[in-house]
Structure 1
Amino acid sequence: MDIKEIQNLIKFVAKSGASEVKLEMDDIKITIRTGSDDKGDSTTYVQQIPMNAPMAQAAPAAPQPTAAETTVEKVPVDESSKYVTIKSPIIGTFYRKPSPDKPVFVEVGTSIAEGDVLCVIEAMKLFNEIESEVSGKIVKVLVDDSSPVEFDQPLFLVDPS
């Protein structure tokens, strides 16, 4: 793995919203941690494993979760029980703005009504507006801008009261 591939991997992990990714290959071990609470700072550790003796064939490791599976933030059960979760109806790329030069659709604390546009999800070059199913107030945005999202992945927490 050359330096260019490592740089591309770091950029991909930073965009995906994953908090930590570990990659182990024959002679390289890479751990990438993104500081999701530190506003996008990332730390990368690259460790070269010495190859003195041939490595014994080990049983295949469990598959690593994909970046899309790790983008969802965990919310304590007692906190989320009073909130409505708005989920992604499709697979695609999540955008908080209608275009790069426009303001975001909603921020934390924004009051929304049923039918208000919350975000867009781009799938196969089509931008799909995601509308609110409930009225209330945005409590938390669960996905970073320009991140890949899966079907039924939580996007927003809304306080309906």
Structure 2
Amino acid sequence: MDLKDIQNLIKFVAKSGASEVKLETEDVKITIKTGSDDRHETTTYVQQIPVGTAPVAQQAPVAQAGAAEAAAAEVAAEDSKYITIKSPIIGTLYRKPSPDKPVFVEVGQMIKEGDVLCIIEAMKLFNEIESEISGKVVKVLVDDSSPVEFDQPLFLVDPS
């Protein structure tokens, strides 16, 4: 089941007025819960079950998946002299160590190997994402407190 099929299923459930729908196939479990009509909220849980492993639940917001694809296309259009730092995991990206602290890195800031660029929260674990290269941050591709996918571009760095 691809992203388009999931999006169409969400739209169908939202229009049908059902409060909850569960769909289960060999490799995917989907649960769609809709809120009351005056709030127009939809929560979708997509769970892919790899063959031979235990299931791991993941929340997959469909709106952010389109944003991830748009960011990837934008990065591809950028000059190839920049190095793209990508997300090693899925989760929620935080640019600051806490809400009252400054961001880890800003555009134009020089970074070196091992510097913390951001934090990605995955399943209540906060993972520091460190730079594997030295250079100057040219562009930040993700907003603070936004969901990120595996291999999604996060930063553009000029290594020169």
Interval containing the TM-score (normalised by the shorter chain): 0.5 to 0.7
- The one-letter code of the counterpart of 1:4 is R
TM-score, normalization: structure 1? 0.60
- The one-letter code of the counterpart of 1:103 is P
Provide the rounded CA distance (Å) in 2 between the counterparts of 1:116 and 1:3. Answer: 46
Q: 1:120 to 1:76 in 2, by over 3 A?
A: closer
Q: SS state of the match for residue 144, structure 1?
A: coil
- The one-letter code of the counterpart of 2:65 is E
Corresponding pairs, count:
105
C-alpha deviation, 1:68, in angstroms: 3.0
Q: Which has the larger radius of gyration?
A: 1
**Partner residue, 1:143:** 142
Q: Which has the higher contact order (CA 8 A, sep 6+)?
A: 1
Deviations 1:113-136 (A, max 9, x none): 000000000001110000001100
Q: 1:3 to 1:94 in 2, by over 3 A?
A: same
Q: SS state of the match for residue 115, structure 1?
A: coil
Provide the rounded CA distance (Å) in 2 between the counterparts of 1:127 and 1:66. Answer: 23
Provide the rounded CA distance (Å) in 1 between the counterparts of 2:128 and 2:64. Answer: 20
Deviations 1:101-121 (A, max 9, x none): 100000111100000000000
Provide the rounded CA distance (Å) in 2 between the counterparts of 1:3 and 1:140. Answer: 39
Q: SS state of the match for residue 90, structure 1?
A: coil
Q: Does 1:68 align with 2:55?
A: no
Q: Is this contact kept in 2: 1:71–1:143, CA < 8 A?
A: no
TM-score, normalization: structure 2? 0.60
**Partner residue, 1:86:** 85
What stretches of structure 1 of length at least 5 have no aligned partner? Answer: 13-64
The range that moved more, 89-98 or 77-86, is 77-86
Provide the rounded CA distance (Å) in 2 between the counterparts of 1:76 and 1:86. Answer: 11
What stretches of structure 2 of length at least 5 have no aligned partner? Answer: 1-35, 44-60
Identity of aligned residues (%): 73
Q: Map 1:27-106 to 2 at 5 A.
A: 66-72=62-68, 73=71, 74-75=73-74, 77=76, 79-106=78-105
C-alpha deviation, 1:76, in angstroms: 6.2
Provide the rounded CA distance (Å) in 2 between the counterparts of 1:133 and 1:104. Answer: 19
